Amino acid sequence: MPELPEVEVVRAGLEPIVTGAVISSVTVLDERSLRRHDGPSEDFAHRLVGRTLEVPERRGKFMWLPIGEGEALVTHLGMSGQVLLRPPGVDDKLTRIRLELQHPVHGQVRMNFVDQRIFGSMAIDELVAVTDSGAGAGETVPTAVAHIARDPLDPFFDERQFFDRLARRNSGIKRALLDQGLISGIGNIYADESLWGARLHYEQLASTITRPRARALLAEVRSVLLQALAEGGTSFDEQYKNVNGNSGYFEHSLKVYGQQGKPCPRCGRPVVREQFMNRGSHFCPRCQRPPKPTV
C-alpha cells in the first residue's frame, strides 16, 4: 500500500500541473472507485465540472485537491491506486475515473485515476477546520481525514504529545506506529525499516521504551521517510507509479523489508519474516532481540 513517501511524490508531481486548472469534463468508468463518495457518479461529475483545482494537500496517506466553496476532491490510493497525468486523448489501462483539465499555462491535461485492485477511491468531501494545538490560521482538512494524526514530517507535529501517548501504549511498538490516529503516514514497509534502524523488535511494548530510545526511533522514522522521498518511493509489482508513470527506487535501499533470508546489513545474521496483523514483519533476530516474556 502506498505510504507517506509515495503519496507525497504524487502530490508534489501534481502541484505544478493541476494547480489553477479548471475541470472541463469528468468520466466515471467504474463506480466502485466512488465508494467513499456520498452520491452517484452523476452527482460526482456534475459537482466537479467547472471547478478550479487548488494546491494539492496531504496528511499521512490521504491526498486532496481543494475545489473552492469549502470542498475538496479527496483521493485515497488504496493498495494500487495511481494518479497519472497524460496529454489529451491518452488513456491508461484500468483507468477508473478520467478528468479533463484546462490549465491557463499548460493547456489541456488529462488526469487518470488508475486502480488495479479497486481499493482506492475518489470523493468530494467537505473541508473542516483543524483544531489541534499546531493548527495554523484557516487550516482545513476533509472530514474523512479529520481523525488522522499529523505525520512526523509535518512542521506542526507535536513530539511531546506523541511521546506521552506512546508511553501509555501497552501494545507492541509496530502496532503503535501503524496507528494513524497516533502518527500518520507509516505503513508496513517504513515501520520495519525504522525499527531495524532503531534496533527495536516489533513486539517491544511501546510503554517500556525509554524517552531517549523513543526519540531515536522517531529520528529513524524521519530519516527513512526522507530517504524514501528522495528516491521517489518504493515500487513493488508495478503498482505504485508517480504522476508520469515512473517507479520509485527506494526498494533498492531496503535493509530488512522483503529481505528475508538475506544477511542483515549490520551484523550479517539472516533477516527473518514473521506473520503480523495479516501481513509480515521483517527484522534481524540479533540486532532486534525480542522482548523478554513477562512473568
| Annotation says 255 is catalytic | no
| Annotation says 2 is catalytic | yes
Kindly name the residue from 3, 6, 193, 220 that is annotated as catalytic: 3
Q: How far apart are CA 216 and CA 183, in angstroms?
A: 16
Write down the H helix ranges in 113-253.
159-167, 173-177, 188-198, 211-230
* Residues 277/202, Cβ–Cβ less than 8 Å: no
Q: How far apart are CA 3 and CA 227, in angstroms?
A: 13
| Annotation says 279 is catalytic | yes
Kindly name the residue from 11, 51, 59, 61 that is annotated as catalytic: 61
Residues 6+ apart with CB under 8 A from 52: 20, 21, 22, 23, 67, 68
How far is residue 39 CA from its own chain's centroid?
A: 25
Give me the amino acid identity at 266.
R
Backbone angles phi, psi at 9, to 5 degrees: -60, -40
Buried residues in 232-266 as b, exposed as e (16+ CB within 10 A): bbbbeeebbbbbeeebbebbeebbbbebeeeebee
Kindly name the residue from 238, 279, 289, 290 that is annotated as catalytic: 279
E strands, the chain, in order:
22-28, 57-59, 62-68, 71-76, 81-86, 95-103, 107-115, 121-129, 140-142, 272-276, 279-283
Say what the alpha-carbon torsion angle 157, 147, 77, 271 is, to the nearest 10 degrees.
Answer: 60
Q: Which residues are catalytic?
A: 2-3, 61, 279
